[in-house]
Amino acid sequence: DGGITQSPKYLFRKEGQNVTLSCEQNLNHDAMYWYRQDPGQGLRLIYYSQIVNDFQKGDIAEGYSVSREKKESFPLTVTSAQKNPTAFYLCASSMDGGTANTGELFFGEGSRLTVL
Amino acid sequence: AQKVTQAQTEISVVEKEDVTLDCVYETRDTTYYLFWYKQPPSGELVFLIRRNSFDEQNEISGRYSWNFQKSTSSFNFTITASQVVDSAVYFCALSEGSGSRLTFGEGTQLTVNP
C-alpha cells in the first residue's frame, strides 16, 4: 500500500544528544514536510522540501536539520541546540508544492520524542 | 501574515447530536485555500476537504457539511448525527496563493460519548 512511514514511533533521548527521525514515502510525491505538534498549539512547520536536494526553513527551524538526497526520504535531525524537543513530530508529503498541487497533504503516523 | 483560529479547544457531545466546529482565518491574499483535517487517536492527519477562496458554495458530504463565509472569514464544519467514531482532533488550515505550505489552527478535540 502507498503511504508515508515514520520511524521510530516512540523515541527517548537524553539531553545533549542528537536524534534522527526517519520519514519515507512511496507515493512518488515531490514535496515533503516536517511538522511539530504540541498540545494546544496545533501543527507548526519545521522544514519542507519541494524537490530533491533542496529544502527551506519553516516557522520553527532552529535546532533542527534535514536532508533530501532521495525523493522518497526526508529525515529530520533534532539537534542538541533545540531547547524544548519533547513533542510529537509529523511528516507529510504532497504531489508537488506548486500550482498543480491540490494542497492535500498525506501524513505519517508520527514520532513521539521524549527528552529525559 | 496568515493565521487560523479555532476557539473551541474541546467539545463533548452525546451520540446523534449535531456539532459545529468553528474556524476563523486571517489572510491578506485574495487567493487562498482552506482545509479541514481529522486526527484520530492513531496520530496521522486525514484530509477531509479543500476550498478555494473563489468558491463560497457550501458543501455536504454524507454527515459532514462545511459553511464558508468570506464576509466573516469563517469556514465552519458541522457533523450531523455524530457518532463515537467521529471522536478525534479536527484541524482547520489555510494556505495562501498556490503553495501547499499550510498554516494550521490549534485544533478542536471532539469527544462523542455513547
Question: In chain B, whose CA is at the least distance from the CA of A58?
Answer: B101
Nearest to A103 among B33, B45, B104 (CB): B33
- Output the pLDDT for position B31: 87
How confident is the model at residue B4, as a pLDDT? 95
In tens, the pLDDT along A1-58 reads 679 999 999 999 998 899 999 999 999 999 999 999 998 778 999 999 999 999 999 9
Q: B39 with B86: CB under 8 angstroms?
A: no
A103 falls in which pLDDT band (50, 70, 90)? low
Q: What are the respective helix, strand and coil percentages of chain A, to the nearest 5? A: 0, 50, 50
* Record: contact A110-B46, CB cut-off 8 A: no
Q: Which pLDDT does position A1 carry in this prediction?
A: 65
Q: Which residue has the higher pLDDT, A104 or A52?
A: A52
Under the banding of pLDDT at 50, 70 and 90, the label for residue A100 is: very low
Please, what is the average pLDDT of chain B? 92
Closest CA–CA distance from residue A48 to any residue of chain B (Å): 8
User: What totals of helices (H) and strands (E) does chain B contain, helices first?
Assistant: 0, 12
CB contact under 8 A, B45 and A98: no
Chain A residues in contact with B98 (beta carbon < 8 A): 98-99, 101
Percent with pLDDT over 70 in chain A: 91
| Mean pLDDT (whole number) for A79-89 | 91
- Using the beta-carbon criterion (under 8 Å), do B44 and A41 form an inter-chain contact? no
- pLDDT of residue B82 exceeding 50: yes
Give the model's pLDDT for residue A97: 58
Confidence of residue A99 (pLDDT cuts 50, 70, 90): very low
Whether residues A98 and B98 touch (CB distance < 8 A) is answered with yes
To the nearest whole percent, how much of chain A has pLDDT over 90?
Answer: 72
Q: What is the spatial distance between Cα B86 and Cα B19, in angstroms, rounded to a whole number?
A: 11
Is B42 in contact with A109 (Cβ distance < 8 A)?
Answer: yes
Query: Is the CB of B25 inside 8 Å of chain A's CB atoms?
Result: no
What is the distance in angstroms between the Cα of A87 and the nearest Cα belonging to chain B? Answer: 13
Q: Which pLDDT belongs to residue B52? A: 87
> d(Cα B24, Cα B38) in Å, to the nearest integer?
17
What's residue A5's pLDDT?
Answer: 96
**What integer pLDDT is reported at residue A116 of this predicted model?**
85
- Residues of chain B contacting A106 with CB distance shorter than 8 Å: 47
Of A21-25, A72-76, A94-98, B90-94, the poorest mean pLDDT is in: A94-98
| pLDDT score at A105 | 87
Do A68 and A53 contact (CB within 8 A), yes or no? yes
Local confidence band at A111 (pLDDT 50, 70, 90 cut-offs): very high
For residue A74 the three cell numbers come to 526526508
